[in-house]
Amino acid sequence: MANKTKPSPLPLPLDYEPMNALLVPDIPTSGAWQFEPKWDGFRCLAFKNGGSIELMSKSGQPLARYFPEVVEAVAALKADSFVIDGEIVIPGEGGALSFDDLLQRIHPAASRISKLSAEIPATFIVFDLLVEGGKSLADAPLSERRARLETFAKKQFKDRDRITLSPATTKHAVAERWFKQVGGALDGIIAKRLDVPYQSGNREGMVKVKKLRTADCVIGGFRYAENARVVGSLLLGLYNEDGLLDHVGFCSSFKAPERKELLKKLEPLIAEPGFTGQKPGGPSRWSTKRSTEWQPLATKLVGEFRYDHFTGGRFRHGTKLLRWRPDKAPQQCTIDQVRSEAKMNLLKLGAA
């Protein structure tokens, strides 16, 4: 559990938003970049100030109660005042990471969390140092922060099973070799500009490359199935530049038992307005009245969806739900995730 004592505050607030990455199709080859594995876990900022330990998610939600073993690992570090950025992961079978086991931790019962943390403990993989000795390093370039982090990790990280340093390289060939291993423990490759400071909440100077095209989307509504009171399709949304939730596609690839379970999850959330920007379209010559009706949802659910193409402000085909993302705030699901994909398609069209 996080310590509730109140020592002098760190130079970064607890709701400090991590630096984000823009999805791009290829690993950068020009410019000065640092490459890192993209781990399949929960993004986390760990704060330590004296006896006070806090773990905060990407959306600014506290994670300490769900990962007591990570709290203990951070507390065991001898340094008195720091903020580190990393990923909480749970090792699975065969060297892969288990995102399903992570999701099991987001549970209201403290007894269940305690049991799981003992049986299937998490590891905190650290890749940035934002505060050291009570002083902010956020304005320093990555090259300086990484050097400070490596020194910090060498002195501090003793129990490498619970807290460890993420590998990094400036060699493109090494990054390409890592990318070929994507699919086990790795979710992709992260590339960071060596000369930029830590840009909270921004996507400038940090990109990610994934073999699968995926996007985190808000569930803005759903449609009932044609001939049964089960979920027919999820209606997906992304926030535009004006902060409005646009309807950008659908997901209907579910088995019959999943459709029933989804209904239990969605019906309690039915509420206006759902989408506040572009809304699902009206009838067409292929649709029936029932299939065009949709139920708006309170914007609380986020899922990661695989897709083939994104053009004209929409996923061109149906998508597939990979997993729910309770660690991500709906407002973080923006059009920026797929903007580079849209630009790439436009360039291809222009070249044709």
Whether residue 173 contacts residue 84, with contact meaning beta carbons closer than 8 Å, is answered with no
- Catalytic site residue 38? yes
Read off the amino acid at residue 146: R
Query: How far is residue 338's CA from residue 343's CA, in Å, rounded to a whole number?
Result: 9
DSSP state of 273: -
Written as six digits, the tokens of 94 are 């065969």
Whether residue 136 contacts residue 197, with contact meaning beta carbons closer than 8 Å, is answered with no
Peptide bond into 273 cis (omega under 30): yes
Return the sign of the alpha-carbon dihedral for residues 77, 114, 321, 311.
Answer: negative
Provide the edge-to-edge strand list for the sheet that holds 186-193.
22-23, 206-209, 186-193, 33-39
Read off the amino acid at residue 22: L
Contact residues for 22 (Cβ-Cβ < 8 A; gap 6+): 203, 206, 207, 208, 336, 337, 339, 340
Query: How far is residue 136's CA from residue 260's CA, in Å, rounded to a whole number?
Result: 49
Query: How far is residue 87's CA from residue 38's CA, in Å, rounded to a whole number?
Result: 9
Tell me how crowded residue 169 is: count the other CB atoms within 10 A of its CB.
Answer: 15
Which residue among the candidates 6, 38, 279, 300 is catalytic per the annotation? 38
C-alpha distances (whole Å) from 250 to each of 13, 210, 330 are 37, 21, 17
Catalytic residues: 38
